[in-house]
Amino acid sequence: MKTKCPFCKKLSAVKQGYRKNKTGKKQKYQCLECGKWFIEDDGFKRMRHKPEDIVRAVSLHSDGMSLFKTKNHIWQHDGVKVTKRTISQWTKKYSNFLKSDN
């Protein structure tokens, strides 16, 4: 099955292996028209932390937990070191996105 290329907008991209890093494994695509490689955007593009960690921090903070308590909770339970500012930025960026899925 072919996918639409975000560069040339043609329906000519095919699966070409996986990209692996610390956030996980994602499907890579290559456009047969323009030859460019890309990965489909899942909403967490260019994030350094796993989507599960981001969602957990945003939900804890949105449910009324303070930034300081959220930061400590994420560190103690998940072993993820993140700043209060980062959690605040994630909340601004993803709170509407996460509420729309409910």
CA-to-CA distance for 70 and 80, rounded, in angstroms?
11
CA-to-CA distance for 18 and 37, rounded, in angstroms?
11
pTM here?
0.72
What is the percent of the chain with per-residue pLDDT over 90, rounded to a whole number? Answer: 67
Give me the pLDDT at residue 102, please: 46
Give me the pLDDT at residue 100, please: 54
Segments in the chain below pLDDT 50:
101-102
Classified as helix, coil or strand, 78 is helix
Give me the pLDDT at residue 24, please: 80
